[in-house]
């Protein structure tokens, strides 16, 4: 048994957000027992509050966010990792912007600030949740498993990817405040050198540089040196500790992850929540068809020759979907579009992405019997030609959903190669409007 913990005096961290490049200031304050961790957007009217839990977790590309009632804070994982790693339970976190400062790309600045503020026990025991039955979440070659056992949280991570220019890395750690602060917190975020241009093109990484983000290629890291020989896998564990804090501040489990990232970590958080509440696990993603063309016709208003999705093979609530379009020489547009050298029109790839996004959005309960009408197209790129015989894999990931509008990131790939992408904005209308 341990007691709940908070800090004895305020701690402040100020800096630039890694994704937005915008400056913000975070002020962390003590909170009473059973208060949990709550963010307050001090820059917004009414200073809305966002509690940290599985219900406020929001998936964003390559980062973790929390959101409630139109208020949002992005890139919270490094701060939450510090809070969870130091076994803190009750805090008020005031922030005057949309994104937590990135610091040096690790949790170390947050750990230093919180430790300097003084960590104190409170006068009430802290309950814990021990994983009862194994929970397994997988997505392609990524997997993450929560296993019963142990007195606290242990994380094992294997970083092994054919695109990585280094040997596989593996690390296992029992997360205690002392070990986390020494072995995990200093590990910095990273990306591959061949990803940099694409991320910047998508509008990400505006606050990144070679000092707060390790740029990795076959020769090592650019303009920097590693703090640990296996710093990259340690940072992946850091991210898991931060993401898991959304499931509760005191977990007893052994987490085993292979190539996992924030999206699949969040799915594990939701499954842990379901187990805590005594609910049945969510249906596991199937490798085959989840929506066939008959079911798609019930959702979308489009009909031949303008229905451009053959089936949906993955659905994650209203957050993410994957669809398939098999491109054949019998497509009607090939009769007039480069008939001697048939190429699928780029605008139809965009339309296919928009249709999948519409199918995804209309699964949201309050959008039932409504239409998702395309409002704008941003950051659109057509990268490679699509020809008869190709299978178009279409992916849609909801970035932001409001009462009347929604932003969705979409892309198409063929054989794993990116052929097109766009950020789409939709207006949500009543079906009779």
How far is the C-alpha of 14 from the C-alpha of 16, rounded, in Å? Answer: 7
* Site of tokens 């937590």: 100
Of 323, 331, 327, residue with least CA distance to 410: 323
Q: CB of 235 within 8 A of CB of 190?
A: yes
Residue with tokens 């999705």: 309
- Please give the helix or strand (H or E) that residue 265 lies within, else none: helix 262-276
**372 bridge partner residues:** 428
3-state secondary structure of 249: coil
Which segments of 175-257 does DSSP mark as H helices, in order? 177-179, 196-201, 231-244
Q: What whole-number distance in Å separates Cα of residue 118 and Cα of residue 127? A: 22
Please tell me the number of Cα atoms within 13 Å of 129 on its side-chain side.
Answer: 19
CA distance 85 to 235: 13
Catalytic center residues: 262, 337
Closest CA to 79 of 62, 94, 60, 67: 94
Residue pair 314/360 in contact by the 8 Å Cβ criterion: no
3-state secondary structure of 48: coil
């Amino acid at each position: 048994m341990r007691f709940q913990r908070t800090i004895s005096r305020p701690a402040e961290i100020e800096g630039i957000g890694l994704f937005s490049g915008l400056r913000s200031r975070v002020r962390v304050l003590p909170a009473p027992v059973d208060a949990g961790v709550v963010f307050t957007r001090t820059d917004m009217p009414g200073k809305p509050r966002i509690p940290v839990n599985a219900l406020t977790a929001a998936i964003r590309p390559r980062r973790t966010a929390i959101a409630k009632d139109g208020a949002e804070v992005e890139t919270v994982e490094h701060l939450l990792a510090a809070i969870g790693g130091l076994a803190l339970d009750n805090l008020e976190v005031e922030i005057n912007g949309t994104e937590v400062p990135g610091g040096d790309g690790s949790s170390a600045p947050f750990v230093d600030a919180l430790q300097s503020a003084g960590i104190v026990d409170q006068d009430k025991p802290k309950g814990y949740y021990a994983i009862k039955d194994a929970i397994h979440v997988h997505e392609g070659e990524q997997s993450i498993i929560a296993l019963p056992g142990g007195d606290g949280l242990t994380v094992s991570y294997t970083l092994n990817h054919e695109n990585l220019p280094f040997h596989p890395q593996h690390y296992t750690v029992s997360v205690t405040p002392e070990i986390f602060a020494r072995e995990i917190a200093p590990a910095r975020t990273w990306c591959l050198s061949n990803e940099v241009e694409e991320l910047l093109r998508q509008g990400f990484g505006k606050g990144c540089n070679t000092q707060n983000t390790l740029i990795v290629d076959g020769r090592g890291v650019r303009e920097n040196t590693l703090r640990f020989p296996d710093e990259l896998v340690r940072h992946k564990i850091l991210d898991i500790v931060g993401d898991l804090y959304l499931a509760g501040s005191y977990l007893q489990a052994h987490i085993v992850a292979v190539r996992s990232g924030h999206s699949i970590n969040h799915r594990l958080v939701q499954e842990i929540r379901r187990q805590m509440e005594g609910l049945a696990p969510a249906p596991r993603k199937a490798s085959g068809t989840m929506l066939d063309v008959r079911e798609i016709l019930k959702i979308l208003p489009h009909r031949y020759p303008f229905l451009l999705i053959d089936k949906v093979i993955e659905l994650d609530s209203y957050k993410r979907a994957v669809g398939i379009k098999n491109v054949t020489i019998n497509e009607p547009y090939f009769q007039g579009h480069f008939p001697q050298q048939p190429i699928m029109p780029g605008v139809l790839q965009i339309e296919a992405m928009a249709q999948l996004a519409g199918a995804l959005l209309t699964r949201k309960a309050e959008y039932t019997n409504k239409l998702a009408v395309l409002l704008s197209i941003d950051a659109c790129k057509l990268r490679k030609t699509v020809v008869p015989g190709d299978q178009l894999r279409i992916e849609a990931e909801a970035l932001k959903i409001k009462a009347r509008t929604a932003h969705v990131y979409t892309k198409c790939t063929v054989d794993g190669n990116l052929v097109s992408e766009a950020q789409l904005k939709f207006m949500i209308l009543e079906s009779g409007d």
